[in-house]
Amino acid sequence: MKMNEIDSKLKDIAEISLGDLGLRKHGSELDNDERGMNADYTQIATQAAQFSDLPKGGTIETTDGQKVEVSQDEAKFLARFAGREVARLYGVFGIKPAYGNDPDAMEQAQKVFASSKGLMKILDKVRSK
């Protein structure tokens, strides 16, 4: 095979689009930060982190549609429970994990924390001090 034939074949390959391969949407699901999360899931800690630098705090929306005003200090406190750190709330929510890093227990804690009842349970402990 001559060099110009190889160049021609490489150009043909380069011109194949993802759509031609049936892969146009492949990988686009990875762009969604909330992939795999059901409607009962929201990140209270992530919302709180947005307000942790604002002097007046902000408003956090729970999965049940309640809007809760938090101060800057409360937002800083709530932001601590992002990701796996929600496991520190098991005792408050009465969750008993089957084993360390139990994903079902973490998911349950996230759901409770994302509800207005769970959020207020945490805020009541903070506000009573």
Helix (H) or strand (E) holding 23: none
Q: pLDDT per residue over 7-46, tens digit each?
A: 565 555 555 555 555 555 545 545 444 444 444 456 899 8
Residue 84 has a pLDDT of: 87
Question: Do the Cβ atoms of 93 and 112 come closer than 8 Å?
Answer: yes
Query: Measured between alpha carbons, how far is residue 64 from residues 20, 50, 68, 98, 116 in Å?
Result: 43, 20, 11, 27, 7
Q: Which residue has the higher pLDDT, 52 or 114?
A: 114
Could you read off the pLDDT of 73-84 as tens digits, one per residue?
Answer: 999 999 999 888
State percent of the chain over pLDDT 70: 67
